[in-house]
Amino acid sequence: MTMTWRNRRVVPALCAALVLGLMLWTGCDRGGSDAADEDEAPAWHYGTTYHVFVHSFADGNGDGIGDFEGLIQKLDYIDEMGFESIWMLPVHPSPSYHKYDVTDYRAIHPDYGTMDDFERLLDEAEARDIKIVMDLVVNHTARDHPWFQQAVGDTTSPYYDFYVWQDAEAVAEAEVDAGPDTDNRRMWHPVQDVDSVDAALNDQRYYGYFWGGMPDLNFDNPAVRDSIISIGEYWLDKGVDGFRLDAAKHIYEDDRADDTKDWWRTFRAEMEATDSDVLLVGEVWDDAEAVAPYFEGLHSLFNFDLSGNIIEAFQTGQGDSLAVDLADTRATYDDIAPSFTDATFLTNHDQPRILNELPQPMHMRTAAYLLFTLPGSPYVYYGEEIGMYGIKPDPNIREPMLWAPAEEDSLRATWIEPEHSTDSTVTSVAVQDERDGSLLNLYRELIHLRHETDALRRGSLHPVTYEGMPKRLSIYERRSDTGESLLIAHNVGAQAADVILPDELRERYGTVWHESDARVRPNDAGALLPPATSVIWSDAESDATADEDPV
């Protein structure tokens, strides 16, 4: 028996130019408006999210592996930092440490605890008004999943059609036709190392986009679609507040992108019918033009372009295009879905940690200022706030969180011997917490500042450039419909830079509202910014007020 491969609004405003002597200031409203309307996202979608790998976060039972008990013990820390939601990497049963190959979508991995433990986590998080976002992996299952085991054991089983199959001969022919550079062969896999295999599969191959241990589900099968919808409803009924959708671009193959988007529209409608405030945030690792159409089915998408642009700005010492590029991206998104929420981040669990990407550690502070003062809903990868390190392979960018010096750290996971984030390279939470000006306290300050300031949380983006502006500067306005308005400047370069504001901006923003540190030198023209510094001015008529100690 053979089954063949599945057939597989706001327009950006024109820039107004002001010629002021030799200066030209442009402030383009390319970022779209965050004005409330009937399609506005729930308020919590605009909050700051903590991105947690439970396996490495906090070990509550002493077995060396992070768990729900440890996470519960650190909810007060997460709350005090100002995080409004937690995105957890997969927590379902799985044969791998990362758990992206699921064997049971309705259960909890025993390494992390029981279902009772998970429900207690939900209750404890709710008591602190912290939302829980679960990583949901629906592009594929594990080979050990009962669906796949039944499929390979009997090709007459209904679960055979839960996966994608093709004749081995057809796979080989496609490989020849596609040429030597094709990825076709690596995506089609023979059934091996399985106790009971239907003989009919000897000449068959199953499709696994990522690798053979992760066979792709067949979303042309209505039973698959219904099963995934039912799984989503199950967890929402448990009290989960949203889902991060892994590999959201790969439900179907690339030439069937419209079918993938249609699936997400269906899934969104069904999830919203269960919980109108649900958040669906998707991983679509692509440029803005390719990402934008997915907002028709997903509330939020990760902004990989911005992550790369921030890193490149520090590596090249040129930040003048950061806000301009982001404003263009937001205009593209806004044209598709005015209620979009842009999931911004520095790096995540699949990338080298941000400190490994920056030319100097001091740039980390300015990177944080960029993340929390640019528009979007920021995601912070656990340990980023204390300056953890890590480069590929993947386990080394998922090393244990350092809560206290090793001899005092009863919650530190020990499942892996860390190579990059150790007591000799990273200062723990407990120590940084007591140090004024530490990276941890800077993150806490910026998260609270953003949370309490509508111009930062919801304000529109207006890039600022002028003739002669040093390329190492990134300058932009954030304007809120509530009346708050801020002007923000960063120096991402290796040399000091003068911010010389045009008269109109200098008159409007007469008050320094926040400085990154004492090295910033405000002056009558604007400010002198040493390397890796930031300054924020408030509008003279703005409602924004900076607490001297916002923490």
Indicate whether 372 pLDDT > 80: yes
- At 203, the pLDDT band (50, 70, 90 cuts) reads confident
> Which DSSP letter does residue 89 get?
P
Residue 176 three-state SS: helix
Q: Extract the tokens encoding 65.
A: 């592996």
Residue 412 three-state SS: coil
pLDDT of residue 175: 64
Strands (E), 271-354: 279-282, 300-302, 341-345
Q: How far apart are CA 17 and CA 25, in angstroms?
A: 6
pLDDT of residue 199: 82
Helices within 159-221 (DSSP H only) = 168-178, 184-187
pLDDT of residue 169: 85
Indicate whether 485 pLDDT > 50: yes
Whether residue 484 contacts residue 543, with contact meaning beta carbons closer than 8 Å, is answered with yes
Give the H or E element holding residue 464: strand 460-465
Strand-pair category, 341-345 with 300-302: parallel
- At 177, the pLDDT band (50, 70, 90 cuts) reads low
Q: What is the pLDDT of residues 284-334, one digit of tens each?
A: 998 888 999 999 999 999 999 999 999 999 999 999 999 999 999 999 999
Burial track 30-39 (b if 16+ CB lie within 10 A, e otherwise)? bbbebeeeee
Q: Extract the tokens encoding 305.
A: 């372009």
Q: How far apart are CA 85 and CA 19, in angstroms?
A: 45
pLDDT of residue 173: 77
The model's pTM: 0.90
CA distances for 283 relative to 305, 508, 518, angstroms: 12, 40, 39
Indicate whether 11 pLDDT > 50: no
Q: How far apart are CA 341 and CA 110, in angstroms?
A: 34
What is the rounded average pLDDT for all residues in the chain?
Answer: 89
Whether residue 315 contacts residue 348, with contact meaning beta carbons closer than 8 Å, is answered with no
pLDDT of residue 172: 81
- At 244, the pLDDT band (50, 70, 90 cuts) reads very high
- At 21, the pLDDT band (50, 70, 90 cuts) reads very low
Strands (E), 150-307: 165-167, 188-189, 204-207, 242-245, 279-282, 300-302
Q: How far apart are CA 238 and CA 223, in angstroms?
A: 23
Whether residue 455 contacts residue 544, with contact meaning beta carbons closer than 8 Å, is answered with yes
Q: Which of 485, 458, 484 is nearest to 45 (CA)?
A: 458
How many whole angstroms from its chain centre is CA 386?
Answer: 18
Indicate whether 17 pLDDT > 60: no
Whether residue 473 contacts residue 38, with contact meaning beta carbons closer than 8 Å, is answered with no
Whether residue 534 contacts residue 476, with contact meaning beta carbons closer than 8 Å, is answered with no
How many whole angstroms from its chain centre is CA 510?
Answer: 35
Q: Extract the tokens encoding 507.
A: 């008159």
Q: What is the pLDDT of residues 93-130, one digit of tens each?
A: 999 999 999 999 999 999 999 999 999 999 999 999 99
Q: How many other C-beta atoms can be found within 10 angstroms of the C-beta atom of residue 272?
A: 14
Give me the DSSP letters along 117-167.
HHHHHHHHHHHTT-EEEEEE--SB--TTSHHHHHHHH-TTSGGGGGB-EEE
How many whole angstroms from its chain centre is CA 540?
Answer: 35
Residue 256 class from Cβ within 10 Å (0-12 exposed, 13-18 middle, 19+ buried)?
Answer: middle
Q: How far apart are CA 98 and CA 91, in angstroms?
A: 9
> Which DSSP letter does residue 74 get?
T
What is the arithmetic mean of pLDDT over 337-360?
A: 96
Using CA of residue 353, residue 354, residue 357, residue 363, what is the dihedral sign? negative
Q: How far apart are CA 178 and CA 253, in angstroms?
A: 16
Give the H or E element holding residue 291: helix 288-291
Q: How far apart are CA 316 and CA 324, in angstroms?
A: 17
Q: How far apart are CA 272 and CA 180, in angstroms?
A: 45
| Residues assigned a catalytic role | 246, 283
Q: How far apart are CA 393 and CA 403, in angstroms?
A: 23
The angle that helices 322-336 and 304-316 make with each other, rounded to 10 degrees, is 170
